[in-house]
Structure 1
Amino acid sequence: VKLGLIADTHIPGTTKTLWPQIVHAFSEVDGILHAGDLWTVDVIDELAQLAPTHVATGNGDLELTDKRLKETWQLQFDNVTVGLVHEFPTARRRAADYLMRRRNRLFRAPLPNVIVYGHTHYDEIHLVDQLMCVNPGSPTLPRNQDLRHGTIGFLEIEGRRATATISQITSDGIETIHEKTTEFP
Structure 2
Amino acid sequence: MRIGIISDTHDNHRGVRRAIEIFAEGGVECVLHAGDMTAPATAALFTELRCCRFVAVMGNCDADRVSLRGTVEAFGGEAYESCFDGSIDGRTVFMAHIPHSVRRAADSQAYDLVVYGHTHHQDVHRVGKTLIVNPGSARNWMAADGHVAIVDLADMSVTFESLV
Aligned to 1:113: 112
Q: d(CA) in 2 for partners of 1:46 and 1:135?
A: 21
Aligned to 1:162: 156
CA contact (8 A) 1:86 1:119 kept: yes
Aligned to 1:182: none
Is 1:48 matched up with 2:50? no
Residue segments in structure 1 that go unaligned for 5+ positions in a row: 91-97, 171-185
Taking a change above 3 Å as real, the CA distance of residues 17 and 167 of structure 1, as seen in their structure-2 partners, is closer
Measured against aligned partners, the alpha-carbon deviations of 1:11-69 in whole angstroms (never above 9, x if no partner) come to: 0xxx3443543121112310110000110123332223312211111011143212543
Aligned to 2:23: 26
TM-score normalised to structure 2 length? 0.79
Identity across matched positions, percent: 24
Matched residues, number: 150
Aligned equivalent of 1:103, options 90, 102, 105 = 105
Larger Rg: 1
Aligned to 1:86: 97
Instruction: Within 5 Å, give how 1:128-143 maps onto structure 2.
Output: 128-141=127-140
Aligned to 1:8: 8
Taking a change above 3 Å as real, the CA distance of residues 77 and 40 of structure 1, as seen in their structure-2 partners, is same
Taking a change above 3 Å as real, the CA distance of residues 164 and 119 of structure 1, as seen in their structure-2 partners, is same
Residue segments in structure 2 that go unaligned for 5+ positions in a row: 71-77
Q: d(CA) in 2 for partners of 1:145 and 1:133?
A: 24
Q: d(CA) in 1 for partners of 2:43 and 2:54?
A: 7
Measured against aligned partners, the alpha-carbon deviations of 1:111-167 in whole angstroms (never above 9, x if no partner) come to: 2211111000001101112211100001212xx525x21111011112xx3112222
TM-score normalised to structure 1 length? 0.71
CA contact (8 A) 2:137 2:146 kept: yes
> What amino acid sits opposite 2:127 in the alignment?
V
Q: d(CA) in 2 for partners of 1:23 and 1:79?
A: 24
Large movers: runs of 4+ above 6 Å: none
User: Cα distance, 1:104 vs. partner?
Assistant: 7.4
> What amino acid sits opposite 1:127 in the alignment?
R
Aligned to 2:73: none
Task: Give the SS at the match of 2:56.
Answer: strand
> What amino acid sits opposite 2:79 in the alignment?
L
More helix as a share of residues:
2
